[in-house]
A = this chain, B = another copy of it.
Amino acid sequence: MINEKMFGLGNEASIIRELSEYGNKRKEIVGEDNVYDFSIGNPSIPAPLEVNETLIDLLKNMDSVSLHGYTSAPGDKHVRDMIASNLNERFNCKAKGELIYLTQGASASLSISLRALINEGDEVIVFAPFFPEYRTFVNNAGGKMVEVQPDLSSFYPDFEDFSRKISYKTKAVIINSPNNPTGVIYPHDVINKIASILKSKQIEYGHEIYLCSDEPYRELVYKEIEYPFITNYYDNSLVFYSFSKSISLPGERIGYILVSSKCKDSERVYKAICGAGRSLGFICASSLFQFALPKIVNSLSDLSKYKENRDILSKGLSDLGYEFIQSEGAFYLFVKALEDDAVAFCKKALKYDLILVPSDSFGIKGYVRIAYCVNKKRIIDSLPAFRKLKELYLEERK
């Protein structure tokens, strides 16, 4: 009698949550240090000091009624203008404050924007491997998700498969770079190729196809690269950002949607976003965190620790003979399972108290995701367990 689809979503065992809960129980038995839990992408590096300092300063000095009062639904105008000019300084991208909509993080941005763009039956293309909740948000908006396979040597999209999967019904394409779960960053050439395919398909089908860049990991990059900002490559584009990872505020839910100023009918798209936010019951992003943004928009958590983790983990696994694509950003390493069935592999890993996430829910088989946003000690201590796991498979093959 209630909505069974919603019950199903609420009741569904998220494999990541399940593994994480198993890990927590196991920790109670064998001790926290003896469980190598790599399941959850929860930042382990504290927020930069100036974040809490800014919040305290606002709480002490700003008038309470203004600080904690409603802002306009898309967010405080001054804050939005500041974000736009910050983006323009960094990416020379012609962002406008009146096309920024502050949200409660990247998931909210996805949910709102897809609802704004999609009509029942529209298709949304995602590139495997992808964040599993894309499917939930696309379905919730009445759309159908279409998966494009990767080139397994680079984990860039298979462009032929991409071209083939674009149809008259394609309304939007979601990219996620740096990528969860691979840590891969799409370079200039890849973004260019995606944009050029979409441009010709827009002409072929005679309607807009929106390119949505979900980039909560934009600042978590471990190599020298000029981040290819999507609105500079493709006009009908939207950016979803979150401050969860860059300044370690995942629980506070603060981020934004940017509609490119070059997007066709950008104002109409923006108004549909306002309408979708309204229909979902979003009133405004937290006013305290909104007002903090001007002071912390350039802040960054100490990412050198994630990079150090990445280096230790990838060196260790490489020495043991594991195969993976090097992680260039975010805080995930995507490793080939030692058998075709990643779920079975993860079950075997549990014997050594290694908690890994099988790749199946990311839309691809035969890999595991290792979230290395943990303390360094856990990574170092886990390597003997990875060795035993490898040896088990060598043993079995004899």
Contact = CB atoms under 8 A, between A and B. Distances in A.
Nearest to A2: B272
Interface string A1-29: 11111111111100000000000000000
Interface in A260-310: 265, 268-290
A181 interface: no
Given A10-B278, A65-B43, A70-B42, A253 B2 contact: no
Nearest to A59: B52
A61 to B, nearest CB: 10
Nearest to A107: B281
Nearest to A120: B3
Interface stretch (A92-100, A243-251, A312-320, A389-397): A243-251
Contacts of A251: 67-71, 284, 286-288, 290
Contacts of A63: 46
Contact of A10 (B4, B8, B59, B274): B274
A299 B11 CA distance: 35
Contacts of A59: 52, 55-56, 59
Contact of A104 (B10, B43, B272, B283): B283
Contact of A11 (B10, B71, B111, B275): B275
A136 B56 contact: no
Contacts of A137: 279, 281
Interface in A46-73: 46-47, 51-52, 55-56, 59-60, 63-65, 67-71
A196 interface: no
Interface of A: prevailing SS = helix
* Copies of this protein, total: 2
A141 B6 CA distance: 11
Among A6, A116, A274: residue with most chain B CB under 10 A: A6
A105 interface: yes
Among A69, A70, A111, A285: residue with most chain B CB under 10 A: A69
B69 A250 contact: yes
A174 interface: no
A78 interface: no
Nearest to A54: B59
Interface of A: 1-12, 40, 42-47, 51-52, 55-56, 59-60, 63-65, 67-71, 104-105, 107-112, 115-119, 133, 136-137, 139-141, 171, 207-208, 248-253, 265, 268-290
